[in-house]
Amino acid sequence: MALDLIAFGEPLIELNQSGERTDGTFYRLGFGGDTSNTAIAAARQGISVGYVTGLGQDAFGDMFMTLWAEENVNTSHVIRSGEAHTGMYFVTHGPTGHVFSYMRAGSVASRLAPDRMPLDHIRTAKYLHVSGISQAISDAACDSAFAAIEAARAAGVKVSYDTNLRLKLWPHARARAVTHATIPLCDVIFPSLEDATVLTGLTDPHEIADFYLDLGAPLCLLKLGREGVLVADRSGRRTIAGFRVDSVDATGAGDTFDGAFLAMLVEGKSPVEAARYANAAAALSTCGYGAVAPIPTRSEVEAFLNASD
């Protein structure tokens, strides 16, 4: 079946610090993993989505299979293997926002070398989505991300990429080199201002957009957090303001932006229209704890946008 979007990366079981009880700190079990979050966000907006990854033959792998089935995310090319475990992370909340602590090294997803990649499946999609995290988790996964991108490009599949910089996963020099080698291969990129500042050394959003456009990305969505997003292509640029909401947890907001934006592009919306919609989806996703549970559906985003007009 030809899908609108196929995402590749690592899903993570999430344990999110969600409050104190008399018997200790309470961690809510949920789901994360940036590209899985993006896949679910896109599926909740109504486009057809698939996910490519590896999962352990463990209870957490089973939970993901159930989740994606409920979310209408195609799992025909998810590899289950007893060779290792499904990845996991903790989210704690402090004065500087959320902090991720990973328990993922050696996971099945991180062992997926290019010879296990379903390239024929990827060649049938409209968009392929990968991220800096997909590349950072291991050399094998990095090679697989490049193999997927190469196959997609050769088949005319558009490539979208979130820089999602995680310096706990790889050193700065490697992150910078790989990210800058990937961007010219992409049709749409989603750096955050925070990532881009570390990766480019620049702080001005317009200079960052110039840098990425000059590298070769035709469309850059520079995510500015609560301030919204700078939409830049070679014909111009525009900042689309963010929406103010009562946020409790920003985990996964950028991933939600990506998925909602891609869903609107697939439907033929302009980048500016898609960015406004995706800003609303991302804002709503911060109103609950966890990466996946608060991702809004299309009707929730539309109701929010109607109420904001």
Binding mask 288-307 for ligand KDG (x = CB under 6 A): ---x----------------
For ligand KDG, the closer CB: 153 or 166:
166
CB of 235 to ligand KDG, least distance (A): 30
CA distances from 125 to 4, 49, 112, 167, 287 (A): 5, 9, 20, 31, 32
Minimum distance from residue 213 beta carbon to ligand KDG (Å): 24
Q: Which of 33, 50, 132, 242 binds ligand KDG (CB under 6 A)?
A: 33
CB of 12 to ligand KDG, least distance (A): 5
Q: How far is the CB of 225 from ligand KDG (least distance, A)?
A: 13
- Rounded to the nearest whole angstrom, what is the least distance from the CB of residue 89 to ligand KDG in the complex? 6
Q: Which range in 31-39, 49-57, 184-192, 264-272 contacts ligand KDG by CB under 6 A?
A: 31-39
Binding positions for ligand KDG, 95-134, rule CB under 6 A: 100, 133
Binding mask 215-254 for ligand KDG (x = CB under 6 A): ------------------------------------xx-x
Task: Give Cβ neighbours of residue 282 (< 8 Å, ≥ 6 apart).
Answer: 242, 253, 254, 256, 257, 260
Read off φ and ψ for residue 266, nearest 5 degrees.
Answer: -60, -35
Nearer to ligand KDG, 7 or 291 (CB): 291
Instruction: Please identify, among the stretches 30-38, 67-75, 234-242, 296-304, the one whose residues bind ligand KDG according to the rule CB under 6 A.
Output: 30-38
Q: Residue 159, exposed/middle/buried by CB under 10 A (0-12, 13-18, 19+)?
A: buried
Q: Work out whether 89 is an interface residue with ligand KDG (CB under 6 A).
A: yes
Q: In the range 150-169, which residues lie near ligand KDG by CB under 6 A?
A: 166
Q: Which is nearer to ligand KDG, 131 or 200 (CB)?
A: 131
Q: Is 16 in the site for ligand KDG (CB under 6 A)?
A: no
- Cα 245 to chain centroid distance, Å, stands at 21
Q: How far is the CB of 68 from ligand KDG (least distance, A)?
A: 15
Number of residues that bind ligand KDG (CB under 6 A): 14
Enumerate binding residues for ligand KDG (CB under 6 A). 12, 32-34, 37, 89, 100, 133, 166, 251-252, 254-255, 291
